[in-house]
């Protein structure tokens, strides 16, 4: 498994233990600096004017009165951004088109959602900036709007883009529509599959848009010099991505833009794109002063991307002994105002946990007048897997089979051909199912109005471009610099790997996240990649250091390469090389670094490949209050394959956090739109996320089926945990009430309505 | 309209500052006094990231006006640790990995400290309901509850 | 010769042909050979395609070797959140 050559570990093995994170003290004392905590002398405050209409042509923008207001130093509109040609680039999750990116950052021809940025000002105070916004005169031609995905697909629906013609259908349409593309995957022969089935279940599901819900709003601080050099501090999951977008949108050399990722207060995919950053830079360039911009919570809900709402139809067939013989699904996902919903991964993941011969999944990417969707933890997968896991549960009930046994019977494992083509390497789904089966939770009896549900989930995980460095300081301490923002314990994990690779104490490794000027390119923190890729780059950097130290030892001891080795934290002679050849630690070399060739360091620059999927199974007990429709989660267990948990507590944290986001998605969270196309619940009171009293302890079972492609066996873990809760809770609801809920969230009004309708039907 | 001149005690220190009528205590703490440990998550009192103590009472500083604290005592996250020594709550949050991104952590520490000063031996349910005013999106609350309970034990031991 | 399969909509760019037997020994060669056969697919190969070789998914790995008996799938690129 270890492909890293010489091993520095002297058995101290920090990896796998629960160290205190090095950035922790600053976080528990309030000292850590997040996006809005940065200030520069002389800074201006920037604020954005946003469209009050969900769909409108922007006829004219008159900024003269705003510009004349004392204290206003710059005003920008669409005229301050060059148009971009149509070109697809991989950006965060979806393929984005720069023509769309520039329009999402600042509206051009049309305002396409309530909250769409139309203009921005920079002024000497927030109060003056707000006043200035009111003085900007925008002439709108209000157009009919459409929100719901099925409505947006209807012929005759208001069309958002005159140049959007559905890709992926034959014949090519001659009229524009809101359907950006149609995709599909097929495996085997779906009709032959259904012909073999003894039981066929077909259901339609509906989910609402939900927001990532990060507690820290977007924030950016930009300062542009007269020669165009730009410095930017922002809260982001990917400062190199921010740099690339801003350079492109503002016509700057990438090398002239230096972005520092501040500490980040949550992202979950929502901070992989740009909103304020290009605006802050454009304002600073115009005002010739630093400009700070922070979104209000209302702006976060209305103007940053939630994930898709969707309509999903699933049809599955199984033999009477439980073999899944056919799986069909049709997914219709909302992309928001511009194309690019995560329907593609939704399509690929729908049946991924299962070994099936016949699969046919179709997906539609559909635009509508609401904010452009952004990635949200395993984008697209929770929706499609929710639908499939619900139907799997119905199959179990129909056949009288245990839902865990049914999944075990059909579980994908090493060698299974995925519905999207390739065969799986080693994966841990069966292990997670068996772990759940063995829990006391699974075997505890339930009472009336209580129900139990189980569901599994799959996500691919990725690697990607990573640059990280290790520098040996004069006193033998090691400075570690990584380039992916630390969202939840990354610095601790990387420091442990460095300590083990070099055989030095953990607290002698000091990790920081470098800015874009300090390291080569790093893809963003997302795709469950930062620990997986970061640790690979650190192993590479450590390898370089060990090789360098061995080479220096050879010179010092006049030895040949095969006479020295790095072992247990020091370079050691193999056999006897005489008096002068005493083992030298890193600290020893550090003292004489200058004299023996110069500063000592290693620089890992890789495109990490070999990411392995992480699969998980969740078990939930809940209780329904028949008088209020309120659902209480009684007990929750997560079992998920981490490959190798570098830091078990932070891996458990991913399991628990993802599970609770899933609980919110299943039971309460949704974007509520009025008939006027405006968001009615743009705040935390009415966009109801779980609080501490809503959930119990979340038991976390760490399964470790090593990923053979990683030096420590690591699999990404961050995203998978949000997938199973939706199906598990829907299944538990059916178990508790006898009603199959197919619409999320299963909020109290909906539950109550279903219970009352059933009562009324029974009386008839 | 002239700004108000306010004198208050912040983390035990006598402070004076100027503020507009509409400035919240959170604005004053972060922008005027440069105490950025209290965070702005929602400005509507729903997330608790701005939690501070006002005369020993837990409040959302985004719901208090700057001028309201004239003559009063404010305690923020910056005053929780005493010198180099972390408060047991802070120490337990670190030991139990009760934070991931850390943005909600100052609010939880202030709120948790308020709880333990009032109720030195809270049950899980009491902890969860007391902390229901603090949103966390990363941890799912599990390790936060464990940390608060363990801090309660440490504080009782003295 | 390696067996190459196009997953999903990619086959629309090759006139519906989803399976190929190509003599490529690297991802770079595979892309070259495919583009020679079906020029319409070239821009999609440059951006937005992941390559699974014998079950292992590679993204942006032009020099990744392909064995003589390898099973290769071209998939849409995956990221995350």
From A28, A214, A658, residue closest to B105, measured CB to CB: A28
Say whether C56 and A422 touch across the interface (CB within 8 A).
yes
A451 and A476: one domain? no
Q: Is residue C21 part of a domain?
A: yes
Tell me whether chains C and A touch (3+ CB pairs under 8 A). Answer: yes
CA distance A654 to chain B (A): 7
Q: Count up the domains in chain A and report the number.
A: 3
Q: Does A591 share its domain with A621?
A: no
Residues of C in contact with A379 (CB under 8 A): 79-81
| Confidence (pLDDT) at A4 | 33
Same domain membership, residue A577 and residue A668: no
Q: Give dist(CA A376, CA A354) in Å, integer.
A: 23
The 10s digit of each residue's pLDDT in A497-515 is: 999 999 999 999 999 999 9
pLDDT at position A361: 97
Average pLDDT over residues A685-700: 98
Reported as a pLDDT band with limits 50, 70 and 90, residue A2 is very low
A622 and A601 housed in the same domain: no
Residue A70, judged by CB atoms within 10 A of its CB (0-12, 13-18, 19+), counts as: exposed
Name the domain boundary from A278, A303, A328.
A303
In this prediction, residue A421 has a pLDDT band, given cuts at 50, 70 and 90, of confident
In the numeric block, which tokens belong to residue A462? 């990725």
Residue A659 lies in a domain: yes
- C81 within a domain of the structure (yes/no): no
Assess whether the previous peptide bond of A171 is cis (omega < 30° from 0): yes
The answer to whether residues A85 and A220 belong to one domain is: yes
Q: Region B137-143: what's the mean pLDDT? A: 98
Does residue C23 lie in a domain region?
yes
- Percent of chain A topping pLDDT 90: 95
Q: Which CATH number does B4-79 carry?
A: 3.10.20.30
- Asked if B touches C (at least 3 Cβ pairs < 8 angstroms), the answer reads no
Is residue A730 domain-resident?
A: yes
A390, pLDDT greater than 70: yes
Per residue in A395-409, pLDDT (tens digit) is 999 999 999 999 999
Q: Is residue A753 part of a domain?
A: yes
A273 and A138 in one domain?
Answer: yes
Beta strands in A358-411 (DSSP E): 359-367
How many whole angstroms separate alpha carbon B27 and alpha carbon B17? 12
Which DSSP symbol is given to B85? B
The whole-angstrom separation of Cα A99 and Cα A88 is 9
Chains contacting C (3+ CB pairs below 8 angstroms): A
Please give the Cα distance from A322 to A411 (Å, whole number).
12
Residues of A with Cβ-Cβ distance to C42 under 8 angstroms: none
What's the domain range around A286?
A: 36-143+216-303
Question: In C, which residues are within 8 Å of A167 by CB distance?
Answer: 9
Q: Which of residues 443-472 of A touch C (CB under 8 A)?
A: 459-465
Fold exhibited by the domain B88-157: DNA polymerase; domain 1 (1.10.150)
Asked if the structure places residue A272 within a domain, the reply is yes
pLDDT, tens only, A265-315: 999 999 999 999 999 999 999 999 999 999 999 999 999 999 999 999 999
Of B97, B132, B142, the CB nearest to A697: B142
Q: Is residue A496 part of a domain?
A: yes
CA A267 to chain CA centroid, nearest Å? 7
Does B97 contact A266 at a Cβ distance shorter than 8 Å?
no
Q: What is the 3-state secondary structure (H, E, C) of A235-297?
A: CCCCHHHHHHHHHHHHCCCHHHEEEEECECCCCCCCCCCCCCHHHHHHHHHHHCCCEEEECCH
Query: What's the total number of domains in chain C?
Result: 1
A681: which residues sit within 8 A by CB, 6+ positions away?
A301, A671, A672, A687
Asked if the Cβ–Cβ distance from A421 to C79 is below 8 Å, we say no
A525 and A478 within one domain: yes
pLDDT, residue C79, reads 79
Contact (CB<8Å) A684/B103? no
- Structure confidence by residue, pLDDT tens digits, B69-86: 999 999 999 999 998 899
What band does A86 get if pLDDT is binned at 50, 70 and 90? confident
Give me the pLDDT at residue A88, please: 74
CA dihedral B93, B98, B104, B109 (to 10 degrees): -30
The 3-state DSSP class for residue A595 equals: helix
Domain assignment present for residue C55? The answer is yes
Q: Are A616 and A720 in contact (CB under 8 A)?
A: yes
Helix (H/G/I), strand (E/B), else coil: B131: helix
Average pLDDT of chain C, as a whole number? 91
Residue A662 within any structural domain of the chain: yes
Contacts of B109 in chain A (CB under 8 A): 28
Domain ranges of chain B: 4-79, 88-157
The SS3 assignment for A124 reads coil
CB A75 within 8 A of CB A121: yes
Please indicate, yes or no, if residue C35 is contained in any of the structural domains.
yes
- A698 CB within 8 Å of a chain B CB: yes
Statement to judge: residues A586 and A445 lie in one domain: no
Which pLDDT value is given to residue A87? 79
Mean pLDDT of A345-357: 97
Q: Which of B142, B145, B149 to mutate to test the interface with A (most CBs of A within 10 A)?
A: B142
At B158, the pLDDT band (50, 70, 90 cuts) reads confident
Answer whether A95 touches C (CB < 8 Å).
Answer: yes
- Rounded-to-integer distance, Cα A731 and Cα A582, Å: 65
A456 and A556 inside one domain: no
How far apart (Å, rounded) are the C-alpha atoms in residues A42 and A45? 10
In a domain, A286, yes or no: yes
Residue A411 falls within a domain, yes or no?
A: no
Is a pLDDT exceeding 60 seen at residue A440?
A: yes
Residues A744 and A620 in one domain: yes
Query: Do A451 and A507 fall within a single domain?
Result: no
Dihedral, B134, B135, B140, B142 alpha carbons, nearest 10: -10
Stated as kind and residue range, the H or E segment containing A65 is helix A64-68
Average pLDDT over residues B150-155: 98
How far the first Cα of chain B sits from its last, in Å, is 51
Contacts with A, C 48-67, CB within 8 Å: 48, 52, 54-61, 64
Buried b (16+ CB within 10 A) or exposed e, A12-36: bebbeebbebbbbbebbbbebebbb
Q: Is the peptide bond before A66 cis (omega within 30 degrees of 0)?
A: no
> In chain A, which among 355-374 make CB contacts under 8 A with chain B?
none
Q: Angle at CA A22, nearest 5°, toward A20 and A27? A: 95
Q: Are A51 and A120 in contact (CB under 8 A)?
A: no
Q: Which of A19, A21, A29, A662 to mutate to test the interface with B (most CBs of B within 10 A)?
A: A29
What value does the mean pLDDT take over residues A411-421?
Answer: 93
Query: Are A288 and A44 spatial neighbours (Cβ–Cβ below 8 Å)?
Result: no
DSSP sequence for A5-18: SS----S---TTS-
* pLDDT tens readout for residues A93-150: 456 789 999 999 999 999 999 999 999 999 999 999 999 999 999 999 999 999 999 9
**In chain C, which residues have their Cβ closer than 8 Å to the Cβ of A459?**
80
Report the distance separating Cα A602 and Cα A5, nearest Å.
Answer: 15
The encoded tokens of residue B119 equal 């109720």
pLDDT at residue A544, rounded to an integer: 98
Task: List the subunits that have 3+ CB pairs under 8 angstroms with A.
Answer: B, C
pLDDT tens figures, A580-638: 789 999 999 999 999 999 999 999 999 999 999 999 999 999 999 999 999 999 999 99
pLDDT score of A91: 54
pLDDT of residue A92: 47
Average pLDDT along chain C, 81 residues, taken 10 residues at a time: 90 88 94 93 85 92 94 88 78
The token pair at A198 is 């003894």
Looking at the predicted structure, is the pLDDT value of residue B123 above 60? yes
Q: What is the ipTM of this complex?
A: 0.98
A722 lies in the same domain as A643: yes
| pLDDT of A93 | 46
Using a CB-CB cut-off of 8 Å, the residues of chain A touching B97 are: 18, 21, 489, 647, 649-650, 652-653
Contact A270 C81 (CB under 8 A): yes
- Whether C60 maps to a domain, the answer reads yes
């Amino acid at each position: 498994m270890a492909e890293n050559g010489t091993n520095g570990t002297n058995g101290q093995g920090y990896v796998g233990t629960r160290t205190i994170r090095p950035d922790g003290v600053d976080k528990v004392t309030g000292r850590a600096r997040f996006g809005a905590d940065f200030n520069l002398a002389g800074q201006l405050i920037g604020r954005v004017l946003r469209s009050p209409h969900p769909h409108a042509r922007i006829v004219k923008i008159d900024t003269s009165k705003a510009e004349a207001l004392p204290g206003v130093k710059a005003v920008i509109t669409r005229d301050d951004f060059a148009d971009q040609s149509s070109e697809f680039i991989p950006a965060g999750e979806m393929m984005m088109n720069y023509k769309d990116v520039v329009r999402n950052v600042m509206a051009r021809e049309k305002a396409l959602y309530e909250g769409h940025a139309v203009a921005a000002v920079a002024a000497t105070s927030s109060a003056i900036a707000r006043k200035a916004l009111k003085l900007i005169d925008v002439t709108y031609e209000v157009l009919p709007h459409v929100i719901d995905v099925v409505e947006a697909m209807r012929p005759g629906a208001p069309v958002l883009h005159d140049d959007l013609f559905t890709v992926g259908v034959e014949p090519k349409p001659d009229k524009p529509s809101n359907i950006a593309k149609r995709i599909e995957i097929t495996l085997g022969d779906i009709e032959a599959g259904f012909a073999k089935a003894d039981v066929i279940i077909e259901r339609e599901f509906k989910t609402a848009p939900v927001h990532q819900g990060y507690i820290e709003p977007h924030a950016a601080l930009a300062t542009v010099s007269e020669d165009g050099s730009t410095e930017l501090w922002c809260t982001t999951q990917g400062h190199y991505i921010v740099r690339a977008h801003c350079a492109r949108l503002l016509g700057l050399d990438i090398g002239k833009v230096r972005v520092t990722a501040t500490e980040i207060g949550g992202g979950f995919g929502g901070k992989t794109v740009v909103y304020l950053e290009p605006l802050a830079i454009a304002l600073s360039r115009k005002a010739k002063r630093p400009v700070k911009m922070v979104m209000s919570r209302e702006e976060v809900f209305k103007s940053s991307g939630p994930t898709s709402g969707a309509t999903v139809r699933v049809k599955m067939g199984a033999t009477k002994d439980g073999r899944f013989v056919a799986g069909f699904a049709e997914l219709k996902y909302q992309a928001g105002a511009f194309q690019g919903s995560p329907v593609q991964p939704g399509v690929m993941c729908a049946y991924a946990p299962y070994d099936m011969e016949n699969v046919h999944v179709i997906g539609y990417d559909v635009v509508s007048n609401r904010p452009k969707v952004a990635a949200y933890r395993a984008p697209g997968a929770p929706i499609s897997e929710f639908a499939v896991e619900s139907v799997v549960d119905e199959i179990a009930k129909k056949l009288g089979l245990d839902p865990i046994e049914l999944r075990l019977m059909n579980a994908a494992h090493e060698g299974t051909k995925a519905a999207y083509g390739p065969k799986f390497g080693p994966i841990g789904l069966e292990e997670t199912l068996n772990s759940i089966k063995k829990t006391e939770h699974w075997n505890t009896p339930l009472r009336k109005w209580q129900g139990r549900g189980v569901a599994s989930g799959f996500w691919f995980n990725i690697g990607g471009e990573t640059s990280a460095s290790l520098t040996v300081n004069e006193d033998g301490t090691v400075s570690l610099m990584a380039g992916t923002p630390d969202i939840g314990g990354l610095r601790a994990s990387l420091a442990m790997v460095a300590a083990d690779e070099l055989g030095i104490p953990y607290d002698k490794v000091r990790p920081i996240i470098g800015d874009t000027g300090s390291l080569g390119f790093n893809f963003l923190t997302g795709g469950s990649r930062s620990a997986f890729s970061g640790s690979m780059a650190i192993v590479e950097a450590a390898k370089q250091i060990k090789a360098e130290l061995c080479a220096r030892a050879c010179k010092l001891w006049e030895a040949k390469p095969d006479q020295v080795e790095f072992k247990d934290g020091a370079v050691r002679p193999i056999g006897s090389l005489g008096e002068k050849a005493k083992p030298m630690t890193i600290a020893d070399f550090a003292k004489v670094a200058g004299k023996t060739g110069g500063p000592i360091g290693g620089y890992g620059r890789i495109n990490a490949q070999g990411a392995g999927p992480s699969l998980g199974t969740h078990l939930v007990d809940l209780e329904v209050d028949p008088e209020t429709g309120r659902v209480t989660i009684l007990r929750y267990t997560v079992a998920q394959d981490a490959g190798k948990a570098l830091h078990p507590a932070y891996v458990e944290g991913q399991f628990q956090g993802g599970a609770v986001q899933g609980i919110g998605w299943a039971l309460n969270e949704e974007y509520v739109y009025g008939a006027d196309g405006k968001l009615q619940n743009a705040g935390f009171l009415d966009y109801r996320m779980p609080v501490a009293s809503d959930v119990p302890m979340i038991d976390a079972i760490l399964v470790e089926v090593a990923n053979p492609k990683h030096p420590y066996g690591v699999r990404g873990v961050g995203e998978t945990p949000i997938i199973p809760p939706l199906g598990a809770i829907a299944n538990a609801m059916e178990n508790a009430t006898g009603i199959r809920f197919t619409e999320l969230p299963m909020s109290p009004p909906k539950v109550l309505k279903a219970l009352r309708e059933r009562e009324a039907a029974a009386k008839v | 309209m002239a700004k108000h001149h306010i004198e208050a005690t912040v983390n035990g220190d006598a402070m004076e500052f100027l503020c507009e009528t509409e400035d919240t205590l959170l604005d004053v703490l972060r922008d005027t006094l440069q105490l950025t440990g209290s965070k702005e998550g929602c400005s509507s009192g729903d997330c608790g990231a701005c939690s501070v103590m006002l005369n020993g009472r837990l409040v959302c500083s985004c719901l208090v006006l700057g001028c309201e604290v004239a003559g009063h005592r404010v305690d923020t996250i910056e005053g929780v640790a005493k010198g180099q020594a972390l408060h047991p709550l802070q120490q337990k949050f670190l030991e139990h990995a009760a934070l991931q991104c850390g943005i909600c952590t100052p609010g939880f520490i202030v709120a948790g400290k308020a709880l333990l000063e009032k109720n030195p031996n809270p049950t899980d349910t009491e902890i969860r309901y007391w902390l229901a005013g603090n949103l966390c999106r990363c941890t799912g609350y599990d390790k936060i509850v464990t940390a608060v309970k363990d801090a309660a034990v440490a504080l009782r031991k003295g | 010769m390696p067996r190459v399969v196009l997953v999903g909509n990619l086959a629309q760019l090759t006139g519906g042909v989803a399976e190929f037997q190509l003599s490529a020994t690297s991802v770079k060669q595979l892309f070259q050979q495919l583009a020679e056969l079906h020029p319409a697919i070239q821009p999609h190969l440059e951006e937005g395609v992941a390559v699974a070789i014998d079950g292992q998914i590679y993204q942006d790995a032009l020099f990744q070797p392909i064995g003589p008996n390898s099973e290769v799938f071209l998939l849409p690129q995956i990221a995350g959140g």
